[in-house]
Structure 1
Amino acid sequence: MIDVQNDYFPGGKMTLSGANEAAENTRLLIEKSRKINMPVIHIQHIATQEGATFFLPDTQGAEIYASVKPIKNEKLIIKHYPNSFRETDLLKYLQSKNIKNLVFAGMMTHVCIDATVKAAKDFGFNCEVIADATATRDLEVNGQQVKAAEVQKALLAALNFFYAEIGTTQEFLKQP
């Protein structure tokens, strides 16, 4: 679970399109994972770079969203870059638990999900991204606006090409 934090929700400093729906689906994924004793790893971004405008240290916006907060014995990893492996103990932790398959949910699809999934695949993990448990935002390129739905579709299609299988919350919930 990557960066489901308050600043991404209405009233936050970097509101995403579909954040509420993605958080609800992430909650369902976490509940199912807990029931089947699948490890749940929470990633929290704390912005430490100069000029950062959201996920600032010691702010409510940087806190993990209430419905998906970690419980006792769940791993919490603090990161400072989009790639959840960069300068964290994530890789060492996964290796120590002999984990080979990763299921991703969280935010922002076009930054932290993208960077972390690609790194995970490069480290040899099998990756699945739960599409409806991720969220992004409108972007701009060369003066053209790109709506969040198109950003989401393009990023997930690109990941699906090599880096990950793309699934849905309902597909995940139906698995034994």
Structure 2
Amino acid sequence: MPPAPRRALIVIDVQNEYVSGRLPIEYPPLSESLPAIAAAMDAASAAGVPVVVVQQDAPGDSPIFAVGSAGWQLHEVVASRPYDHLVRKTLPSAFAGTDLADWLAEREVDTLTVCGFMTHNCDASTILHAMHAGWSVEWLSDASGALPYATQAGRATAEEIHRVFAVVFHTRFAAVTRTADWIAALQAGQALTRGSILSANLRARGLA
């Protein structure tokens, strides 16, 4: 039987900006994602899994995440719970310009469980960064969330963005799961597995 994963829970940017500020998360709804984040943090703490909280910083004149502003503050769901390390960042990836990689290596973590906001920005950047650096990655799809976008390239709803990123993550970058299933795997000491590009494409074409 393979050894149990040496996990760390990475809780990304659960800040008021995404709840009561200028960037309200739409999908999954906050009524689902915030309780899931709380459940993941509680389960990790109970299992002795280190919890890393990540916080986005922006200059004082920024319209979002300005350090010291109400929107920059950690949301109560996270702020009221214990965590082992705080990472403050200025770029999307929780690894960029921070001590996160060294902190994880010192604790011999081999598997990162990522949740928080946003699916398509800081979650995605952190997941891809971690996978390329050699960590196994898990992503809690119901403990994360997306916003709608409209740009010169087109429009997409929050649900569309979240769904597509979840599908793509699971082909190569992360084992995508829901929080309840992750807690069960955590308590059983089991690893979660992702899919592959080939199997995903064959299945989509009705060949698997």
TM-score (norm: length of structure 2): 0.79
Q: CA deviation at 1:51?
A: 6.7
- Give SS of 2:114's match: strand
Correspondence list, 1:27-66, <5 A? 27-48=38-59, 52-66=62-76
- Indicate the SS of the match to 1:81: coil
- C-alpha distance 145-174 of structure 1, shift in aligned 2 (>3 A): same
| Structure 1 position 19, deviation (Å) | 2.9
Structure 1, residues 42-99: CA drift from partner, whole Å, max 9, x if none?
0001113x97321111111111110112655610110011011000000010011110
The corresponding residue for 2:161 is 151
Greater Rg over alpha carbons, structure: 2
* Residue number in structure 1 paired with 2:99: 89
Q: Which residue of 2 aligns with 1:22?
A: 33
Residue in 1 that maps onto 2:21: 12
Distance in 1, matches of 2:30 and 2:62, equals 21
CA RMSD of aligned residues (A): 1.6
Q: CA deviation at 1:145?
A: 2.2
Change in 2 beyond 3 A, CA 1:72/1:132: closer
Establish whether residue 115 from structure 1 lines up as the match of residue 125 from structure 2: yes
C-alpha distance 23-72 of structure 1, shift in aligned 2 (>3 A): closer
**Aligned runs of 1:100-139 on 2, under 5 Å?**
100-139=110-149
Contact 2:52–2:83 at 8 Å: present in 1 too? no
Tell me, in whole angstroms, the C-alpha distance in 1 between the residues paired with 2:83 and 2:63.
Answer: 31
Equivalences, count: 174
Instruction: Identify if the C-alpha distance between structure 1 residues 27 and 60 changes in structure 2 by more than 3 Å, giving closer, same or farther.
Output: same
Structure 2, gaps ≥5 residues long: 1-10, 188-208
Q: Residue 82 of structure 1 contacts residue 112 of structure 1 at CA under 8 Å; is this kept in 2?
A: yes
What's the TM-score once normalised by structure 1's chain length?
0.93
Counterpart Cα distance in 2 of 1:105 and 1:90: 15
